[in-house]
Amino acid sequence: MEGAQSRSGASSSVVAEWSLAFWTLCSVLLPVLITLWCSLQRSRRQVLIRDIFRKSKHDWHYTDLFGQPSYCCVCAQHILQGAFCNCCGLRVSEGCLKKADQLFLCKEIMMRSNGGAHSSMPHHWIRGNVPLCSCCMICKQQCGTQPKLCDYRCVWCQYTVHDECMMDCLKTEECTFGEFRDLIIPPYYLSTINQMRKDKRTNYEKVVPYCGKHWMPVIVLANTRSGNNMGETLLGEFKILLNPVQVFDLSKTAPTKALQLCTLLPCNAVRVLVCGGDGTVGWVLDAIDEMKIKGQERYIPQVAILPLGTGNDLSNTLGWGAGYAGEVPVEEILQNVMEADGIKLDRWKVQVTNKRYYNLRKPKVFTMNNYFSIGPDALMALNFHAHREKTPSLFSSRIINKAVYFFYGTKDCLVQECKDLNKKVELELDGERIELPNLEGIIVLNIGYWGGGCRLWEGMGDEPYPLARHDDGLLEVVGVHGSFHCAQIQVKLANPVRLGQAHTVRLILKSSKMPMQVDGEPWAQGPCTVTITHKTHALMLYHLGEQTDDEASSMSEQDHVGEQTDEDI
Q: What pLDDT, on the 0 to 100 scale, is given for residue 564?
A: 41
pLDDT at 409 over 50: yes
Residue 50, domain member (yes or no): no
Residue 252 inside a domain? The answer is: yes
Q: Which among 137, 139, 142, 140 is positioned nearest to 173, based on CA atoms?
A: 137
Q: Residues 124-134: what's their mean pLDDT? A: 90
pLDDT at 514 over 80: yes
Please report which confidence band the pLDDT of residue 314 belongs to, taking 50, 70 and 90 as the band edges. very high
Distance CA 80, CA 176 (A): 34
Distance of CA 435 to the CA centre of its chain: 42
Top pLDDT among 72 and 558 is at: 72
pLDDT on residue 560: 45
Q: What is the pLDDT of residue 563?
A: 42
CATH label of the domain that carries residue 406: 2.60.200.40
Q: For the chain, how many structural domains are there in total? A: 4
| CATH number (domain holding residue 90) | 3.30.60.20
Q: Residue 562: inside a domain, yes or no?
A: no
Q: How many helices (H) does the chain have, and how many strands (E)?
A: 13, 24
Domain presence at residue 2: no
Helix axes 376-390, 483-490, angle to 10 degrees: 100
- Return the minimum-mean-pLDDT range out of 149-153, 207-211, 410-414, 431-435: 410-414
Please, what sign has the CA dihedral across residues 335, 213, 155, 160? positive
**Are the beta carbons of 420 and 387 closer than 8 angstroms?**
no
**Triad 468, 322, 336: Cα angle to 5°:** 90
Last residue of a domain, one of 306, 339, 372: 339
> Which one is predicted more confidently, 7 or 343?
343
Element (H, E) at 125: strand 125-127
b or e along 197-216 (b: 16 or more beta carbons within 10 Å of the residue's beta carbon)? eeeeeeebeebbeebeeebb
Average pLDDT estimate for 395-413:
59
161 and 280 co-located in one domain: no
- Asked whether residue 149 falls in the same domain as residue 210, the answer is no
| Closest by CA position to 189, among listed 239, 245, 240, 258 | 245
- The rounded distance, in Å, linking the Cα atoms of 58 and 236 is 12
Is residue 505 predicted with pLDDT exceeding 80? Answer: yes
What pLDDT is recorded for position 303? 97
322 shares a domain with 373: no
Other CB atoms within a 10 A radius of the CB of residue 54 amount to 8
At which of 289, 321, 339 does a domain end? 339
pLDDT of res. 368:
95
Q: What is the pLDDT of residue 46?
A: 73
DSSP letter at 149? Answer: S
359 versus 505: which is more confidently predicted?
505
Provide DSSP, 410-441: HHHHHH-TTTTGGGTEEEEETTEEE---S-SE
Window from 16-25, 204-213, 245-254, 387-396 with minimum mean pLDDT? 387-396
- Cα separation of the two ends of the chain: 129
- 44's enclosing H/E stretch is helix 2-55
Same domain, residue pair 531 and 467? yes
Mean predicted lDDT score pLDDT of the chain? 84
Which residues 6+ apart lie within 8 Å of 419 measured at CB? 440, 482
pLDDT at 566: 40
Domain span at 100: 56-110
The DSSP element (H or E) to which 28 belongs, if any, is helix 2-55
Query: Do 123 and 98 belong together in one domain?
Result: no
Same domain, 76 and 220: no
Is 196 in the same domain as 314?
Answer: yes
The helix or strand, by DSSP H or E, that contains position 153, with its residue range, turns out to be strand 152-154
Instruction: Evaluate if residue 285 carries a pLDDT over 90.
Output: yes
- Of the segments 208-217, 409-418, 474-483, which one has the largest average pLDDT value? 474-483
pLDDT in tens, 162-181: 999 988 778 778 898 999 99
Please, what is the Cα angle at 396 between 390 and 402, to 5 degrees?
Answer: 90
pLDDT band at 241 (very low <50, low <70, confident <90, very high): very high
| Residue 261 DSSP label | G
What is the C-alpha to C-alpha distance for residues 110 and 104, in angstroms, rounded to an integer? 17
Half-sphere exposure of 354 (CA within 13 A, CB side): 13
DSSP letter string, 499-526:
EEEES-EEEEE-SS-EEEEETTEEEEE-
Report the phi/psi class of residue 252: left, alpha or beta, with left for phi > 0 and alpha for psi in -120 to 50.
Answer: alpha
Selection from 10-14, 70-74, 108-112, 373-377 with the highest mean pLDDT: 70-74
> For every residue of 331-378, which 3-state class applies, written as one string?
HHHHHHHHHCEEEEEEEEEEEEEECCCCCCCCCEEEEECCEEEECHHH
Q: Are residue 161 and residue 233 in the same domain, yes or no? A: no
Report how far residue 517's alpha carbon sits from residue 391's, in angstroms, rounded to the nearest whole number.
21
Are residues 464 and 388 both part of a single domain? Answer: yes
As a whole number of angstroms, the distance between CA 246 and CA 264 comes to 12
Contacts of 280 (CB under 8 A, 6+ apart): 221, 223, 226, 250, 274, 308, 309
CA distance 48 to 441: 58
Q: Using 50, 70 and 90 to split pLDDT, how confident is the model at 199? A: confident
279 domain-assigned: yes
What band does 2 get if pLDDT is binned at 50, 70 and 90?
Answer: low
Domain final position from 178, 202, 233: 178
Q: Which sign, positive or negative, has the C-alpha torsion 64, 70, 73, 78?
A: positive
Residue 467 and residue 394 in one domain: yes
**For residue 131, is it within any domain?**
yes
Residue 557 is predicted with a pLDDT of 47
Is residue 10 situated within a structural domain?
Answer: no
Integer Cα distance of 455 and 1 in angstroms: 102
pLDDT digits (tens, 9 = 90+) for 345-390: 999 999 999 886 656 678 899 999 999 999 888 888 787 766 666 6
Helix (H, G, I), strand (E, B) or coil at 301: coil
State the average pLDDT over residues 109-119.
Answer: 67
Q: What is the pLDDT of residue 565?
A: 37
Q: How confident is the model at residue 552 (pLDDT cuts 50, 70, 90)?
A: very low
Instruction: Band the pLDDT of 115: cuts 50, 70, 90.
Output: low
Give the pLDDT score at 378.
87
Domain assignment present for residue 334? The answer is yes
Are residue 378 and residue 482 in the same domain, yes or no? Answer: yes
The per-residue pLDDT for range 220-234, each reduced to its tens digit, is: 999 988 766 688 889
Residue 481 clears pLDDT 80, i.e. is over it: yes
- 94 vs 547, more confident: 94
| 462, 405 Cβ separation under 8 angstroms | no
Whether 126 and 66 share a structural domain: no
CATH number of the domain bearing residue 300: 3.40.50
Please say if the pLDDT value at position 397 is more than 70.
no
**Mean pLDDT across the stretch 93-100?**
89
CA distance 250 to 276: 10
